[in-house]
Structure 1
Amino acid sequence: MKALSLRADYAWDVFSGDKTVEYRSWPTKYRGDLLICATAQKIPETIPGHAIVVVRVKDVKKLGDRQYAWQLDNVRVIEPFPVKGRQRLFNVDDSLIKYHPEIDDENHPSDAAVEAFIDKYLAPLMY
């Protein structure tokens, strides 16, 4: 799967659904699933150096000279796993990605299900 490294706090914002646009100085023709990976920079209350969520690149709009807005949607929760980030788009083996559709927003998960996922997969990795 294609992957993109973001600062850990921005990756967390994508995970939570608060960030639906990623601004880049370069465009891509790629549309489809994109694995969001947090860089190794240690930022409190994030999971640095891990892949944390899969989204879809819906579109890329040119905003100006060397300014592009990547429109992201279809957030899907995965079990975080370590990834060494790279610049630009890079590939990650699909077999490493383990989805948890029962806690995706469109399935309206219970608070208990979300808390159990956080306790099991996210909290132990948080910086």
Structure 2
Amino acid sequence: MKALSLRADYAWDVLAGDKTVEYRSWSTKYRGDLLICATAQKIPETIPGHAIVVVRVKDVKKLGDRQYAWLLDHVRAIEPFPVKGRQRLFNVDDSLIKYHPEVDDENHPSHADAEAFANQYLVPLMY
């Protein structure tokens, strides 16, 4: 799967559904599923150096000279796993990605399901 590294706090915002646009100085023709990986920078209450969520790149809009808005949707929680991030888009083996369908924004997870997922998979890895 194609992957993109973001600062750990921004990756966390994507997982929470609060960040639906990623601004980049470069465009891509890629559309489809994208694994979001948190960079190794240690930011409190995040999971640095891990892949944490899969989203879909719905579209990329040109905003200006070297300014692009990547529109993200369809947030899907995964079991976090360590990833060494890279610049630009990079590939990660699909077999490493374990989805949790009960925590998928299109299935409208309950607060209890989201909290159970967080307590089991996210909280133990938080910095």
Q: Give the TM-score taking structure 1 as reference length.
A: 0.96
SS at match of 1:79: strand
In the TM superposition, residue 120 of structure 1 has moved relative to its aligned partner by 1.0
Partner of 2:101: 101
Q: Deviations over 1:14-51 (max 9, x none)?
A: 00000000000000000000000000000011000000
2:18 alignment counterpart:
18
Higher mean C-alpha displacement, 27-36 vs 102-111: 102-111
Residue 120, structure 1, aligned to residue 120, structure 2: yes
Distance in 1, Cα, partners of 2:111 & 2:90: 34
SS, match of residue 102 in structure 1? strand
Q: 1:97 offset after TM fit, Å?
A: 0.2
User: What count of residue pairs does the alignment treat as equivalent?
Assistant: 127
SS of equivalent to 1:109: coil
Identical counterparts, % of pairs:
89
Within 5 Å, give how 1:21-60 maps onto structure 2. 21-60=21-60
Paired position in structure 1 for 2:84: 84
Q: Is the 8 A contact 2:74 2:105 kept in 1?
A: no
Aligned-pair distance for 1:105? 2.7
Query: In 2, distance between residues paired with 1:58 and 1:112?
Result: 28
Q: 1:112 is matched by which residue type in structure 2?
A: A
Q: CA deviation at 1:110?
A: 3.0
**RMSD of aligned residue pairs (Cα, Å):** 0.9
| Bigger strand fraction | 2
Q: Deviations over 1:52-90 (max 9, x none)?
A: 000000000110110000000011110000000000000
Runs of 4 or more, structure 1, over 6 Å off, are: none
Cα offset, 1:115, TM superposition = 1.9
Q: For the Cα contact (< 8 Å) 2:35–2:55, is it kept in 1? A: yes
Question: Structure 1 residue 67 and structure 2 residue 67: aligned?
Answer: yes
